[in-house]
Amino acid sequence: MIPGAPRPPRDALILAAGYGSRLRQLGSSKPLTPVAGIPLIELGMRQAAAAGVERVVVATGHEADRLEAALPAIAARAGVLLDVRRVGDWSRPNGWSVLAGAAAIEGNYLLMMADHIFSAPILAGLARTGTPGHGVTLAIDRRTDSPMVDPDDATWVRLGRDDRIVHIGKTIADYDAVDCGAFLATPELAEAIGAAIAAGRAGSLSDGMQVLADRGRAATMDIGSAWWIDVDDAPMHALAESMVARELPGIYARAGARGPAMAATAMEAAEMAAPSQAGA
């Protein structure tokens, strides 16, 4: 670590509780869906470890038994400690998953979506930003017309002075960037989500982010030309499979020859270890 540089957070929180309906055709558990042979949740853990994280907290919900059965082996392969927090009602907005996971964390943490993949500079950059003067830092991409961005599902960001967030949401018409789905969060984020819920909002992560934005406490980190993708449907999954080995060479090199067979084995083990939660 560079002398005087902020110390990377010890913890990461990965949100993996949602239904994943748009990727359902590829598997019943979105976090266990392989991308070029490595499950999405393992990619997230390996990326967090590469950024200096020692422990990963996973917020589970849909197909929780199946996912939780697979997580210990996945965490061992990724070289991280594991803590699992199950969301009581996974049909609620994703801010409730943040509340469940953040309850297990003291201090700052990297916050990631289970279906997002990032090139190394993004999480490494967030981990080094530090948090003086703000409660959260969001990785943003100003390339709003990129083929990696699904305009029907994107969360848009309008920026103000010092590139702090003024407005964030899926329906805003005037925006400067897109939310990449990676954050350096402080305990203020969970508090802000709770404040949004208390004010009558549904409790999405964006609701909490807007509370911090209104307080002038939501900063951003421009990723520049770095690569990322939201694997939210079959076309984006196919695009990711065509690119990940090139964009994440270290992770795929360390995974070695396990390839598709490894991912299939992980999913089969989860299937045998836990009953379906289709009605959960």
Q: pLDDT exceeding 70 applies to what percent of the chain?
A: 86
Q: Give the confidence band of 20 by pLDDT, cuts at 50, 70, 90.
A: low
Evaluate if residue 27 carries a pLDDT over 80.
Answer: no
Q: Residues 6 or more apart from 217 whose CB is under 8 A from it?
A: 133, 134, 135, 136, 188
Residue 103 has pLDDT above 50, yes or no: yes
- Domains of the chain with CATH codes: 11-273 (3.90.550.10)
Both tokens of 179, joined, read 């939310």
Region class of 36: left (phi > 0), else alpha (psi between -120 and 50), else beta: left
- Paired residues of 136 in beta bridges: 185, 218
pLDDT at 275: 44
Separation of CA 217 from chain center: 20
pLDDT of 193-246, one tens digit each? 999 999 999 999 999 999 999 999 999 999 999 999 999 888 899 999 999 999
DSSP alpha helices (H): ranges in the chain? 40-50, 64-78, 95-102, 120-129, 187-198, 205-214, 234-247, 249-255, 259-273
CB-based contacts of 103, cutoff 8 Å, min separation 6? 85, 190
pLDDT tens-digit readout, 62-71: 999 999 999 9
